[in-house]
Structure 1
Amino acid sequence: MVDSSRRAARPVRKGGLANVLFAVAAAERVPAELRELGDLVTMTFPWGSLLRGCVGWDPAVAAGIRSLVVRGGRLELILAPAERDRLPGVPTEPDAVVEACRATFEGLGLAFREGRPASDAELRDSASSWARRLIREGRDRRAVRVQFESP
């Protein structure tokens, strides 16, 4: 989060963001001040409970993530679960990951917009060190990008 906040704090002309908020909070207990605040909520390579929430295995976490998105806002996920992560019940095949996310967030009132393999350019644009590693080491772990919109 430190690198992301540093990049976001740059001047807009250098790729910074004029209106960004970073928070450290439990997804299953989102503070009221953060609910329906995000025009764009992004989750890049969530793992553990966040990943389980995204694919429907932790409903409280999924509901917390959804609660961040304002009416008309977007939720964008980049996920790359793999068998070697040993997360029981978490799908690892790209189509299954997309469908699990779709079922989870449509069930919470978000409209599914797109689900597909993430391109190398999208991984690079995420500015994630994990994304750079995925690109550098090949694609035995396949990343997917899933997008939703709040009606």
Structure 2
Amino acid sequence: MRDIYRYLLFLCHDHHTAEDLVQETFTRAYLHIESIDDTDRIKRWLFRVAHNAFIDRIRREGRVSLGETEYFEQLWDRETPESLLLGKEAGEEALKLLEELPEPQRRAFLLYHHYECSYAEASEIMGIGLSLYKSHLFRARQKMKAYTERRMRRE
């Protein structure tokens, strides 16, 4: 449930909307749990249900509302003061870059790198073909790599 919530929160940028979508996701899942044959695929199936709930919400609203990024700034690993100081600026820039990615690239990047879905699982969650998913992920990685190279040159 926590992974579904984080995924939806990153997509919609609003705590209350994400909570509503999590509730909607698990309500839909409860109503259709009999339709899943392979219990090993439940996590992937839940991400797909959450993704569809988010898409349905976007269609109903007609637009995506952008929220504050304060929540994500609080998620940084704060093990030591040094890691906080060193990572804060880079993290803010990376988050800003991630938010600037086109929506399909952002979703592809998050599903693979943050939620550790396989290519096949992520493409199924997003409802697109495997080759298109790989294309989105490749483009997102290229943009993140270019950002890292620019940052290294500055330092």
What is the TM-score with the length of structure 2 in the denominator? Answer: 0.23
Write 1 or 2 for the structure with the bigger share of helix: 2
Write 1 or 2 for the structure with the bigger share of strand: 1
Rg larger for: 2
What is the TM-score with the length of structure 1 in the denominator? Answer: 0.24
